[in-house]
Amino acid sequence: MRIVFAGTPDFAVPSLRAAAQRNEVVAVYTQPDRPAGRGRELTPSPVKREALLRGIEVVQPENFRSALSKDALRALQPDLMIVVAYGLILPQSVLDIPTYGCWNVHASLLPRWRGAAPIQRAIEAGDRESGVCLMQMEKGLDTGPVLLSQSLDIGAEETGGQLHDRLAALGAQVLADGLGLLRAGIRPVPVPQPDVGVTYAHKLDKAEAKLDWAQPAVVLANKVRAFNPWPMAEATIAGERLRLHGAVALADAHNATPGTLLRAGRDGLDVACGDGVLRVRVLQREGGKAITAADYLNGRPDLRRA
């Protein structure tokens, strides 16, 4: 099959490899190079780097509004277009170009968590299950019928980064299964999404990283997990602004003002919340690296009496 692949971040790379395994990927579409790093140099996307390593033509349009960009896609004569975290909205006129339309690998169990940040929102909400859907794309935002899906359990202390990597691998497997069926002449049966259970995973915002100690400890623990490695939860503890890499919720009762450091020991820093206590286990000081609470206390002997 002649496949056009569209994707941008690390999450899409395993799916590109799966698409290229037994098919002809005639072109890879990805976001234009963006400034990154301290030097703000133009940097290619992870998908572009993978495509260049494989000798696949790379196309980087700003959008698909022009007739020229659509004609260029049409000239590739694609049997199928695979879209994985591409970052551009595809109009219906583009979705109609490939023989079998466009497939999307989405990191949630649709219709739950349509949108930009399904992995992090699932953890933030305390979901115990996630998964991947292979979806036939249509004009709406992640509204198309599901072709194949696979679920997995979310670990009790699993971070956004860890779940991201597992779902990226699972997405590649589900895509490979779908492509295998199509090569065998079997088109996966599209199953419409139910109207019940729709939720939206809005894009992450850096401002969300600032924790509010008035919230319950369980809510804050989920945020710490969800926002690791980005945007990384931040909070003030004992007068110091810290990034929180790892924390768990304790059901301990207290009468302290939210944000009060109740205890400090090798197991963690216990901070009073609106309900319960958040035990911070791994943290990062300004300009430093992630360290355990025990190592942090070596530099803050004044807290050991807390």
- Residues belonging to the binding site for (6S)-5,6,7,8-tetrahydrofolate are 108-111
Concatenated DSSP letters of 53-119: HTT--EE--S-S-SHHHHHHHHHT--SEEEEES--SPPPHHHHTSSTT-EEEEESS-TTTTEES-HH
Distance from C-alpha of 239 to C-alpha of 176, rounded to nearest angstrom? 51
Distance from C-alpha of 186 to C-alpha of 180, rounded to nearest angstrom? 9
On the 0-12 / 13-18 / 19+ scale of CB atoms within 10 A, 134 is buried
**Tokens describing residue 154:** 């979310």
Eight-class DSSP state of 305: T
Eight-class DSSP state of 207: G
Is it true that the peptide bond before 46 is cis, omega within 30 degrees of 0?
no
Amino acid symbol at 202:
H
> Do the beta carbons of residue 75 and residue 110 sit within 8 Å?
no
3-state secondary structure of 182: helix
Distance from C-alpha of 13 to C-alpha of 48, rounded to nearest angstrom? 9
Q: Residue 7: which H helix or E strand, with range?
A: strand 2-7
Residue 47 phi/psi, 5-degree rounding, is -65, -40
Which residues contribute to the annotated binding site? 108-111
